[in-house]
Structure 1
Amino acid sequence: MANIQVIKDHTIIRNEDFIAKAEQLKPELIRTEAHPVHLIDVVSDASVVHGWRANILEPAEGLSDKSFGKGDQFILDFGTHLVGYLDHIHISPVGSPPDAPLHLKITFGEMPIEMAEPFGSYEGWISSSWLQEEVFHIDILPGVLSLPRRYSFRYVKFEVLAASQKYRVSFDKFACRTVTSADISKVTPLEHPDELIKKIDEVSIKTLQDCMQLVFEDGPKRDRRLWLGDLRLQALANYETFKNYDLVKRNLYLFAAVPNDKGQITANVFTFADLIADDTYLLDYSIFFVTTLYDYYAATQDLQTLTELWPLALRQIEIALAHLDENHLIRDANSWYSFIDWNQELNKQAPTQGVLIYALRRAIKIAEIVSSDALDMLEQQLNHTVISARKHLWDQDAGFFVSGVDLQVSWASQIWMVLAEVWEPQKNKELLNRLLERNPDVRVTTPYLYHHLVEALILVGETAVAVNQMKAYWGEMIKDGADTFWELYDPNHKSFSPYGNPIINSYCHAWSCTPTYLIRKYNL
C-alpha cells in the first residue's frame, strides 16, 4: 500500500506497509538516573583542545550550601556524556519572600568550550537553534523545574539573569533521566592486553549507546535524525556489541518506506512526529542502502527482509549507473552529489566510483542469494566500472588514482579504490603505503573517512599499521578529553568545523563509533 507526498521539489512514494513494519520494531527506551559529580569552572588554556579546560572546584554536594543572586552562575559536571532529560530541579528562595520572578538561563554542553564561549557569538551557516540553552521565568518559589526537552551533554551551566534584591536562590536534587535503546548488559567485555585499545573500545561503545534511540541517530545533540551513511557504520558496530538487530531492520524499513518517484532513497529521514524524507539526496549514501542491507543479512540470515528490500536496493544501483558516462565513469559535477568526507577541496568523482564498485560487489552477492534476474547485468557493470577506473583514473607515473578534471590526488580516492578492490591485494597494499608515505594535501577530516582508511589497511593485511593509525587518531581524541567520540577531528587542526565554529560541532557522533567494530571484528 502506498501514497504520494510532495516534499519541496520531490515526490515521495510512501509505502505504508513498510512504515507499519518499522513501527512494530520500535524499541523500548532504557532509562537510568544520573547525578552531577563536580562543580567546575572553565579556564583558558591554550594547550588543550579549543583553548578551554574544565577545572574541578569541589564535589557537587557542595552546591546545597550555596545561594545565588543576579549575575551569579555555577557549572555542574556529570562526569560523563549523557543523553536525557534534566528534571525535578528543586529551587528555593533564600532571605525575604520572593517579590519578583526568577529569571534563569540554563546552558548544556558536551565540551568545556560550550560553557565558556557565549552562544550569541556564533555566526556559522548551520542553525544556531541547535545550541542547547533555555531561559525561564519562574514565578512561584519554592518550586520544581523540569525541562521537557531532551539534551546531549556532560556540563550544565546555570546563570541567574535576574531576581529581586530581597532574595537569593538555592538549588538542590539535580537528576538526569538518561535514555537509550542500547542494552549495555548485552555487550561482552573486551579482554585485551593493550589498555589504550580497551579505552578506545569503551568510548566507542558509549558513543554508539548514546546515539541508539528510537532510531540510530547520527548525533543526539545535532542532527538527532537517521542518516544512511551513519546507519551503515552504526549497524556494523552494533553487530559486534549490542546486537540489536531489530533496530537495524527498523531503520532499513524506514528508509525503504519513503523513496522518491524515481525510486531513490533519501540521505536521511525525520522520525519524531511522522516519517518524513529529507530533500537531500547523496549518491554515495543511496548506494549504501545496498551494503547496509547486505551487512544486515550477513549478521542475521534474515532472508525475508533481504528478499523484500532487494528490489529497492537494486534500484539504488540502477540510479547510480545512470550517473556513468560513455566510459563507465561517474560524471563529475560541481555540486554536493556525494558526501564522502567533510572537505571542501575534495573532488568526489573517483571516491564515488569506488563506492559504486564496492556496492556492486555486495549487490552481486545479494543477487546470488535471492536468485535475481539482475545478476548478469550487475556482473557486467562491475567489470565495466573496474576497467574504467583502472584505465581513466589511475595515474601510473604518480602511483595514485586521480579525480576530476584537475586530476586531484586525495586520500579519499585511494581509500575507496582499495576498499573497492580495484587492484589486486599486493598492489592495493603498495598504494596505501605510498599514501601514508607521501601524504597528499587533500586529507581526511572526519572519523567517518578515517574508519575507511583503517579498514582498508586491514583489508590489505597491514594490521599493525591499522592499529597504529587507530591509536593515533581515536587515542589522540581521548587524550583531548573525549568521553564519546566526535563528529569531526583533525589532529593537526583541532578546532576545525565545517560550520564556522566548533561550538556547533557534535561531540557524540555515530560515524565515529566504529573502532569497537574494527577491534572486535578483526581481533585487533
Structure 2
Amino acid sequence: MKNFNKILLLLLFSCFALPTFAQKASWIWYPGDFDIYMSNVMQNRRTERGSFFPVFWKMDSHYVLVDFHKEFSLTQPEEVKLFVEGTYNVKIDGQAVSGFPKTVNIPAGKHKLSLKVYSQGAVPAIFVQGKTVVSDETWLTTFEDKEWIDQSGKVSDKSGTTFVTAGSWNLTDPTKLPSQFKLPTKPLQAVSKKKAEAGALYDFGRETFGFIKLHGLKGKGRASLYYGESPEEALSTDKCETLDHLDIDLAQKKDSIMPLSKAFRYVNYQANGGVSVDSVSMLYEYAPVTERGSFKSSDTELNKIYDVAKYTFHLNTREFFIDGIKRDRWVWSGDAYQSYLMNYYSFFDAPTVKRTLLAQRGKDPVTAHINTIMDYSFYWFLGIYDYYKFTGDQKFVQDIYPRMQSLMTYIDGRKNKNGLLEWMPGDWIFIDWADKLSKDGEVSFEQLLYARSLETMALCAKLANDTDGAARYDKQAKELKAKIFELYWNQSKNALVHSRINDKQTDNVTRYANMFGIFFDYFTPEQKLGVKNNVLLNDKVAKITTPYMRFYELEALCAMGEQSYVLKEMKNYWGGMLKLGATSFWEEYNPDKKGVEHLEMYGRPYGKSLCHAWGASPIYLLGKYYLGVSPVTAGYETYTIEPSLGGLEWMEGKVPTANGDISVYMNKKEIKVGSAVGTGTLKIKSKSKPAVKGAEVKEISKGTYEIKIEKGKDYLVNYNPPTP
C-alpha cells in the first residue's frame, strides 16, 4: 500500500510539474564591434546650434563579415530558432542549409552549428534560441576564417584562424535588432512656466536630459526651442549652445517629439506665424542602473553634495560613461577613468565599464593616442587593471590584452633619445584646463603615467599568461621610475619639477605629478611629507580649478590622512557650487568668478558644462577614504575597511561589490560593519584596545588595531578614538 501511495504521488507530481524552460539566449557579435558601433552612433549625435559637430579623432567601424560557431552535445533532437541582423548562411557540421532558414533542426549527438553574417550598415549579430542551443558569450567568432579548399573539394583541416569569444550586451529580446537599441525614457513635466516674448520659459526644476515633447502643436510657421542649463542661456536665442527649429504646417493638433535628446534645465519655446502649442513636457532618458552605494552623515551639506554628485554621475552614465550631457557627450578616456572609480562606489555597473573601454580603444592599427591625448592613453591602461581589481573578471583582461599590447607598442615607438615621451605632431598633452600650464619639453606628469601604465601592462600580462611580456614590462617600468626620480626630483624644492627642456630641469613645480606620486605610492615617507607641505598645502603653487584634477589632489591628501582638511575643501568647493544654485556639478568652478562668468568657457558665454561626470568625485572619495572600503585582491576576495570620520560626528553607508554590499557605520564610540563578500580587515586607531564580540583584535602598531571581518557576520566594535 505504501508503494502504491508513492507511485500515485509521483504520478500526480508529474502532472503538475513545472515545464523545463529553455536556457537564456542573447544577441551576440564580434567582441567590441557593437561597442564601437554604438559609441559612433552616440558621439555623432552632438550638435551645436543645430549644426553637426563630429569628434576630433579617427572613428573605427565594425567588421562587416563575421563567422559564429559552437559545438553542442544533444541528448535529443532540438528545433532551434535563428534571428540575424544581416545577410547570412547556416551550416550544421560544415554542411550548408539551403536558403535563409528561420529555424533549423539539430539531431541528437555532437554537432557544430555555424552562421556567417554580412552586414555593412549595422553590426553582424545573431540570436539563437533552442532548448539548450542558445547564443551567448561562449560562442566562438572570427572576422577572417582563413580556410582553403583543395582540388578535390576537401576543406583544410589546418587553419590559421584566430577565434575569440563573442561579445554581448545581454540584449535578450530576439525581435529587437541590436541596431535598434535605445535607452529607456519616462515622461516628466516642467515645474514652472513663465512668459517670454512670443512664447514661454519652462523650468524642469533641475538639470536633466531627454527629448522635449510639444503637445497640441498646430498652425503654419516656425516653432523654436532654445535649451539652457541656466535661464540666461535658454533666453539667449543667439548664443545658447543647443536649439531646435521646426517648420510647422498642421491644420489639426498633433504632438511632436524632438528627434535628438538634449541636456537642459530650462527650455525657451518661441513661435511665429500662426503656430500654437498646448503644453511642453519631456521624455527623460536614462540608463537603467541600480543605485547600490550610499553615504549619509551628520553633516547635511555633505549629504547634499553626495546626493547631487550621484545624480550628476547618473546623468552622465548612458550607453557609455561620457564627459558631460550638454556639449560633447563623447567618450573621453580621462573623464571615463574617473567615472569607473565613481561607479565602483555607486552603481557597480561592470558592463558599462567594459563597453566604454572597448569603445575607446577601437581597432588596430593604432595611429594615434586615445582621443589623440597622450595622458588619456595611459588612463585607459589604468582603467583595465582597476576593473579587474574591483570585479575579479580575468576573462575581460585576457580578451582585451592584445589591444593593450598594440597600443603600448605604439607608445613605446614614440620615445625620444632620452627614453622619455614629449609632444610630437598629432599628440595632445592635456593634463588639465589651467591658465599658462606649459606642455613643452618632457613633462614629468606624462612620464609618471607612462611608468604606471607599464606596471599595469606587467600585471595584465600575468593574467593573460604572457610570462615574457610580464618580465619585459616590469623591467621597463622599473627603469622608467628610476629615471623619473633621477631627472625630475628636486631636493631643494622637495618635489618633482614640472618638466625638462633641453635636458635641463625647469624651475616650475606643479601639483600634477606630485599628487599622483603620492597615491601611486612612488615616494618615500619623507618625500610624501615634503610634497604634502611644499606642494599640496602650498598656496604659492598654482591652484587647481577643475573638479577633474581636484579629484586627484584631494585623493592624495586623503591618502596622507588629511580627511579633516579634505572635508572642509569638499564643503568649500562643491558646497560653493550648491550655494550658487547648482543642481548638478560643473566642468569647472572658480570661486573668484562672479555671476554669468561661471557660465563661460572656450570663449563662449555658455560654453561650460554645468553637468560634468568629473564633477561627481565626492562619491569615490567618501566611499574609499571615509567609509574606507577598498579591495586588496581581485573581486574583493580580500579587502580593507579603514574608516575615518574626518571631523564628522557619524557616518554610514554601503559600498557595492560584484557579490553583495559592504556596510559601514561609525561614530566617535563605535563602528558597525557587515559584509556579504570575501574576507576583510578592519583597521582602526584607538587609544585603548577596541572591544568586539566574536573576533580577535590585533595591535599592529602603537594605537593601530586590526580585526578580521568574515562574510555573513555583523560586527559591533567599541573603540576610543585618538585626540585629533
1:439 Cα deviation from its structure 2 partner: 2.5
Matched to 1:115, the amino acid is A
Indicate if the aligned counterparts of 1:354 and 1:419 stay in contact, CA closer than 8 A.
Answer: no
Give the distance between the partners of 1:179 and 1:11, measured in 2 at CA: 25
Q: 2:592 aligns with which of 471, 487, 492?
A: 492
Give the distance between the partners of 2:296 and 2:319, measured in 1 at CA: 30
1:326 Cα deviation from its structure 2 partner: 4.3
Relative to structure 1, the CA distance from residue 146 to residue 15 in structure 2 (aligned partners, 3 Å threshold; closer, same or farther) is: closer
Indicate if the aligned counterparts of 1:28 and 1:181 stay in contact, CA closer than 8 A.
Answer: no
Give the distance between the partners of 2:562 and 2:405, measured in 1 at CA: 33
SS in 2 for 1:83: strand
Give the distance between the partners of 1:285 and 1:25, measured in 2 at CA: 29
Per mean C-alpha deviation after superposition, the further-off stretch among 405-414 and 209-218 is: 405-414
**Counting strand residues as a fraction of each chain, which structure ranks higher?**
2
Q: 2:222 aligns with which of 103, 117, 132?
A: 103
| Higher Rg of the two aligned structures | 2
Matched to 1:474, the amino acid is W
Indicate if the aligned counterparts of 2:366 and 2:407 stay in contact, CA closer than 8 A.
Answer: no
1:323-342 equivalences in 2 (<5 Å):
323-331=414-422, 337-342=428-433
SS in 1 for 2:606: helix
Matched to 2:348, the amino acid is K
Relative to structure 1, the CA distance from residue 317 to residue 244 in structure 2 (aligned partners, 3 Å threshold; closer, same or farther) is: same
Please say if 1:239 is aligned against 2:344: yes
**Residue equivalent to 1:394:** 489
Q: 1:266 aligns with which of 367, 370, 385?
A: 370
Unaligned runs of 5+ in 2: 1-29, 34-54, 68-122, 126-165, 172-180, 628-724
Give the distance between the partners of 1:23 and 1:88, measured in 2 at CA: 36
Give the distance between the partners of 2:201 and 2:57, measured in 1 at CA: 46
1:446 Cα deviation from its structure 2 partner: 1.8
1:43-54 equivalences in 2 (<5 Å):
none
SS in 1 for 2:206: strand
Q: Which has the higher contact order (CA 8 A, sep 6+)?
A: 1
Relative to structure 1, the CA distance from residue 255 to residue 9 in structure 2 (aligned partners, 3 Å threshold; closer, same or farther) is: closer
Indicate if the aligned counterparts of 1:203 and 1:483 stay in contact, CA closer than 8 A.
Answer: yes
Give the distance between the partners of 2:167 and 2:379, measured in 1 at CA: 19
1:216 Cα deviation from its structure 2 partner: 1.6
Give the distance between the partners of 1:307 and 1:220, measured in 2 at CA: 32
**Residue equivalent to 1:227:** 332
Matched to 2:242, the amino acid is Q
1:23 Cα deviation from its structure 2 partner: 5.7
Relative to structure 1, the CA distance from residue 329 to residue 440 in structure 2 (aligned partners, 3 Å threshold; closer, same or farther) is: farther
Relative to structure 1, the CA distance from residue 25 to residue 359 in structure 2 (aligned partners, 3 Å threshold; closer, same or farther) is: farther
**Residue equivalent to 1:422:** 522
1:79 Cα deviation from its structure 2 partner: 0.7
Please say if 1:481 is aligned against 2:481: no
SS in 2 for 1:119: coil
**Residue equivalent to 1:178:** 284
Relative to structure 1, the CA distance from residue 39 to residue 430 in structure 2 (aligned partners, 3 Å threshold; closer, same or farther) is: farther
Would you identify which runs of 4 or more consecutive aligned residues in structure 1 move more than 4 Å? 7-23, 25-28, 332-336
Q: 2:200 aligns with which of 74, 84, 103?
A: 74
Give the distance between the partners of 2:552 and 2:400, measured in 1 at CA: 26
1:424 Cα deviation from its structure 2 partner: 1.8
**Counting helix residues as a fraction of each chain, which structure ranks higher?**
1
Give the distance between the partners of 2:624 and 2:455, measured in 1 at CA: 20
**Residue equivalent to 1:157:** 268
User: TM-score, structure 2 length as denominator?
Assistant: 0.58
Q: Deviations over 1:392-422 (max 9, x none)?
A: 1122222332223344222223223334333
Please say if 1:36 is aligned against 2:190: yes
**Residue equivalent to 2:438:** 347
User: TM-score, structure 1 length as denominator?
Assistant: 0.78
Indicate if the aligned counterparts of 2:364 and 2:406 stay in contact, CA closer than 8 A.
Answer: no
Q: Deviations over 1:296-338 (max 9, x none)?
A: 1112211111111122223433433444444443335698532
**Residue equivalent to 2:476:** 381
1:10 Cα deviation from its structure 2 partner: 6.3
SS in 1 for 2:556: helix
Q: 1:148 aligns with which of 244, 251, 259?
A: 259
Q: Deviations over 1:322-380 (max 9, x none)?
A: 44444443335698532211125223411112222232333333233334322222222
Give the distance between the partners of 1:400 and 1:477, measured in 2 at CA: 31
Give the distance between the partners of 1:159 and 1:507, measured in 2 at CA: 24
Matched to 2:527, the amino acid is K
1:408-487 equivalences in 2 (<5 Å):
408-440=508-540, 442-487=542-587
Give the distance between the partners of 2:291 and 2:608, measured in 1 at CA: 30
SS in 2 for 1:374: helix
Q: Deviations over 1:474-500 (max 9, x none)?
A: 221222222111112222246365510
Identity over the aligned pairs, expressed in percent?
A: 24
**Residue equivalent to 2:698:** none
Q: 1:523 aligns with which of 608, 626, 638?
A: 626
Matched to 1:181, the amino acid is A
Matched to 1:177, the amino acid is L
Relative to structure 1, the CA distance from residue 243 to residue 108 in structure 2 (aligned partners, 3 Å threshold; closer, same or farther) is: same
Please say if 1:504 is aligned against 2:612: no
Indicate if the aligned counterparts of 1:341 and 1:445 stay in contact, CA closer than 8 A.
Answer: no
Q: Deviations over 1:141-173 (max 9, x none)?
A: 54433222211111111223x336xxx84632x
Matched to 2:216, the amino acid is H
Relative to structure 1, the CA distance from residue 326 to residue 380 in structure 2 (aligned partners, 3 Å threshold; closer, same or farther) is: farther
**Residue equivalent to 1:24:** 169
1:73 Cα deviation from its structure 2 partner: 3.2
Unaligned runs of 5+ in 1: 42-67, 93-97, 123-130, 268-280
CA RMSD across the alignment: 3.2
Give the distance between the partners of 1:508 and 1:8, measured in 2 at CA: 22
Matched to 1:119, the amino acid is D
1:35 Cα deviation from its structure 2 partner: 0.7
Q: 1:193 aligns with which of 291, 298, 318?
A: 298
Q: 1:307 aligns with which of 376, 398, 423?
A: 398
